């Protein structure tokens, strides 16, 4: 494993906040992510002076690994600027192959963010995570690695840096995951995570039966008394109220139509997902209401109870009665919750039993 080991400027505040997005490259998107693949290659190539032949490793190992699904790569961006990269070899014995962080961003926990994300990506099948690193790097960064459960390093016969001994580290996945759970509340409080995974601008609450109908396609129109036109074409995360009490999926607002209740019922009644008497009881004497049309509906493979997310983040989350705009520091808890909800998808069983709790 390679990690750039330079100290950030001493006058850079450790409370520095940044909007970080993480792009993932794997067998599903590596061919279509040409620009990001070029960025990944460029970031790795900067280590050629320390690791001669690293370009050959990228061509012969990383690219075929992405293609086959054996490896997964990550690039962290601050807006459009690439600031960190990592490569993970997947499997029951998952391997952290590469980690590089821009020297100006080493005090905003990017290494932790990437290791957290990689751990979440292998939590359901890996027995352990391991890596090798130069002895000098272990001496400089062992506090970081120990905080994730990598308690010791032993010498190997490998040698990637000329003139330096290579050490091997490993830890059971349960130990690394426990460290991840301990770190999440503080970590997500320091850095605002962006587009990956599952960034949305709006959290919308609805009755559990209506949320289920949207997920299964029998309802595509949601009626609200008040809703701004500015949300057209924005992504929304859907919260199903109790007894479900969970984040259940995502959708895009395709269109917003305002009008008299009788006109909107005549136009959209078959797509609203309720009986006329229910519709009338909701709108009451309102003169104008809003019909919100959804498209690109995507059900979470595992809906996440808000009580469970609150427990993970050590923060009480109160669902909005109607909707919540996710654009201010006051909504950071929900932004983090939605990040977690996106992170835990594509996993057969997200482990939250007592064996794995921090």
Domains detected in the chain: 19-193 (3.40.630.30), 202-327 (2.30.130.30)
Distance (Å, rounded) from C-alpha 148 to C-alpha 67? 29
How much is the pLDDT for 130?
Answer: 96
Tens place of pLDDT for every residue, the chain, 358 residues? 544 433 333 333 333 345 677 888 999 888 888 999 999 999 888 765 666 678 888 999 999 999 999 999 999 888 888 999 999 999 999 999 988 888 888 766 888 888 988 998 888 789 999 999 888 889 988 999 999 999 999 998 776 666 678 899 999 999 998 898 888 777 765 555 544 444 578 999 999 999 999 999 999 999 999 999 999 999 999 999 999 999 999 999 999 999 999 999 999 999 999 999 999 999 999 999 999 999 999 998 878 899 988 887 888 899 999 999 987 667 878 888 887 777 666 443 333 322 223 2
**Tokens representing 347?**
């996993």
Contact present, 182 and 176 (Cβ < 8 Å)? no
**Pairing assessment for the beta strands 71-78 and 235-240 based on DSSP bridges:** unpaired
Contact present, 2 and 47 (Cβ < 8 Å)? yes
Longest dimension (CA), the chain: 81
Give the full edge-to-edge strand order of the sheet including 154-155: 154-155, 166-172, 128-134, 93-101, 81-89, 71-78, 19-25, 192-193
* Cis before 243 (ω within 30): yes
The string of DSSP codes covering 131-165 is EEEEHHHHHHHHHHHHTTT----EE-S---STT--
Q: What is the pLDDT of residues 267-312, one digit of tens each?
A: 999 999 999 999 999 999 999 999 999 999 999 887 889 998 888 7
Rg (CA), the chain: 23
């Amino acid at each position: 494993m390679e990690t750039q080991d330079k100290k950030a400027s001493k006058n850079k505040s450790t409370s520095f906040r940044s909007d970080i997005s993480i792009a993932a490259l794997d067998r599903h998107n590596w061919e279509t992510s040409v620009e990001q693949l070029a960025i990944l290659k460029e970031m790795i190539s900067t280590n050629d002076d320390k690791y001669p032949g690293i370009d050959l490793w990228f061509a012969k190992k990383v690219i075929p690994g992405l293609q086959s699904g054996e490896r997964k790569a990550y690039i962290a961006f601050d807006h459009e600027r690439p600031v960190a990269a990592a490569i993970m070899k997947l499997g029951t014995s998952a391997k952290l192959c590469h980690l590089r962080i821009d020297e100006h961003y080493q005090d905003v926990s990017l290494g932790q963010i990437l290791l957290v994300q990689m751990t979440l990506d292998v939590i359901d099948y890996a027995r352990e995570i391991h890596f090798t690193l130069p002895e000098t790097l272990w001496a400089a960064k062992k506090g970081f690695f120990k905080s994730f459960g990598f308690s010791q390093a032993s010498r190997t016969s490998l040698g990637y840096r000329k003139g330096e001994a290579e050490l091997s580290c490993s830890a059971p996945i349960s130990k690394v995951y426990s460290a991840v759970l301990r770190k999440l509340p503080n970590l997500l409080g320091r850095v605002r995570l962006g587009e990956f995974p599952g960034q949305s601008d709006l959290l919308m609450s609805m009755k559990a039966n209506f949320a289920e109908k949207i997920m299964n396609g029998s309802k595509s129109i949601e009626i609200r008394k008040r809703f701004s036109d500015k949300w057209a074409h924005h992504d929304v995360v859907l919260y199903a109220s109790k007894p479900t009490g969970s984040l259940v999926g995502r959708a895009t607002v395709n269109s917003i139509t305002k009008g008299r209740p009788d006109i909107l019922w005549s136009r959209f009644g078959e797509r609203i997902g309720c009986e006329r008497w229910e519709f009338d009881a909701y709108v009451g004497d309102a003169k104008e209401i809003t019909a919100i049309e959804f498209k690109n509906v995507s059900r979470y493979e595992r809906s996440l109870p808000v009580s469970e997310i609150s427990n993970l983040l050590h923060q009480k989350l109160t669902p909005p009665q109607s909707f919540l705009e996710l654009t201010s520091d006051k909504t950071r808890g929900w932004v983090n919750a939605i990040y977690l909800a996106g992170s835990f998808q594509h996993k057969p069983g997200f482990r939250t039993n007592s064996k794995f709790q921090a």
